[in-house]
Structure 1
Amino acid sequence: MVSKYPLTLHRNPKFRAAIVQAALVFLVFYAFYSLYQTTVFNLEERGIKTSTSFFDQVAPFKVGFSPFLDFDLGTTTYIKVFYIGVLNTLLVAVLGIIAATFLGFFIGILRSSNNWLAKKVALVYVEIFRNMPLLLQIMFWNFAIFLAFLPPPKQSLEFGAFFLNGRGLQTPVPIVENNLLFKVWLGVVILSVLISLVFRRWAKIRFNNTGKSLPVLSISFSFIIIVSISAFYILGQPLTVDIPVLGKFNFKGGGQLPLPLFSLWFALTIYTSAFIAENVRAGISSVSKGQIEAARSIGLTRSQMVKMIIIPQSMRVIIPPTISQYLNLTKNSSLAMAVGYEEVVAVWANISLNQTGQALIIIAMTIIFFEFCSLFTSFILNMYNRRIQITER
């Protein structure tokens, strides 16, 4: 029976919940404000001045690896050092996430294979690398494997236009010949991608209405490649590639990924892929046997079942724990100091902090950077996770 008298404001559960939430938010902000005030007071008592004026001061040290921003000893400021460290961190994080995802999926599928040997090899891989401390793995690959066994530059291991040696990985580097034409070509490529997305959306609507499917992926990739290559030659090849060539003592031209970066990337990939492999195995195991039996009954091969039945249904189980592994990989990149890779913790929270003494600002900026990376990655992948969730009645 519903009362004919309306609830008073203080008895309204929604109002009470809003008041409690507002009070909690206030208390959290007040706690942070009190912490800030206490910290500033203690620093002033000890004669330590906190200021951002050092941002524009020239950094008296050299950053050896800076592929995205130019570093000039004697002119580069501290704030630019921070940007270089951030970009170097994002570089190894993005490369590691991509490689760990592909390798983790491959190992995870092997873990669920009917082949006894493949299943056991994948199990050994997971158990070894998942249970070994990451710092130990980074140092092992860098000092015990790569530095010990990779040849000098003259005996480099050649992989097409790539050369691997004890100094790192020599790679081709794209060079923009005409900045304006390159921007036009890049715009054409982006436009072709957008058209492909529109085509994918149209094909999905068409399938829902008529039940007729199209090879969307192959058509989209073919369209993007044809348009990109055609525009590239029509515009007079605004982009060229500088390929490394072995000189008398070292390589000339191209670019170099230093050995610490290669070792860190390799260790992060191996370590994280072991966890992702277990997520993939758990996701595959969550698909009911009835689905697999139904797929077999209509004559689908094992590869077709994995591609069309198992993986699409298992993604809703795989994605949430895999997000955590992506976040862990990004944060684990801070172990790069062990092998000398110059990421944000090494050049900003270590060298710059020792040079300036501005611990509060430097550590706060480092924390905010990693928090932003974690929240942004989590936000993007959670959006994707919501899109692939199975809609229930």
Structure 2
Amino acid sequence: MIPVNEPLLDGNEKNYLLECIETGWISSEGPFIKQFEDKFAEKVGRSYAIAVSNGTAALDAAIEALGIGPGDEVIMPAFTIISCIGQIVRAGAIPVLVDSEPLTWNMDIKQIEGKITSRSKAILVVHIYGLPVDMNPVLEIARHYQLKVIEDAAEMHGQAYRGRPCGSFGDISTFSFYPNKHITTGEGGMIVTNDEQLAEDCRSLRNLCFQAKKRFVHERLGWNFRMTNLQAALGLAQLERLEEFVSRKRNMGRLYTELLADLSNVQLPLASTEYADNIYWVFGLVLADNSSLDVEQVMCMLGENGIGTRPFFCPMNQQPVLKRLGLFAEESYPEADRLYRQGFYIPSGLALKEEQIREVAKVLHKVLV
């Protein structure tokens, strides 16, 4: 079986983890936490970095730190993972959806301005699968309407927009270190910002809002979102190789594109835009509208031939839990729906070998031609 993802852990990971064990620093108090935070902030061009337990925690704390609450509207993509909407809904705010672009699969920025009302508080930008959102127009809209910008760069480790690192845009940005990301800590996440007060608030929120002088007296409700020293040690070792990992991913993407270019009944990832080259976090395929097979059939057939796959995100307007809350009734997002209905991705983890890529391509031709 060729898995859809397998991380690459053959750098300093063992050495750093052994140091944690030998010194006894395995909790969230260990020295690797600050080292990882400082190095990560430097890598993405931010002043402050706050390590947390996962990417969802990073989003939750960021939204809370920005003071998004009841009645506030947050403009966000319809096509994304449900993590992005959780804290917005829990805070009593109102998610306002934007459909996808058909080629980049990112949010259609041309739709943003038409969604703004007097209640709009923030724009949540989510970079999807390998290409970043076109940020300059988004930032200009945000400045004009005095909106906050939250940048979810969970899938964008090492990616850049017009030469500037993803994760450096807007008021606050978030990352995930789940095992399928370019940098993994097993589970983990990072919040980055240039705003000292936002950074202080996020540090407090990740640590149950303990106070310096009255530790067990709380003025605010927070979470235990702390990252452990073990996770940070793993992340630091991975961060040391980020440029190598990005190069590996782009080589994988180029080889897949070359091998699959003759398939006329699928849409391949866009290789580049005027502002970025694809980083191929995952290598996605979208079946043509006239395909004789549906996604479930194709994924099943690939699985029977030893090829791991994953479906694309289910858009927010189709999520049963959100429908039960009365959200997005009668709303239509045709591009997001198409991507979900016809999209899936194939093995693209960092440990993937060239011969495995060629085998995946061979089986895809067998299934789709």
Tell me the TM-score normalised to structure 1 length.
Answer: 0.22
Q: TM-score, normalised by structure 2?
A: 0.23
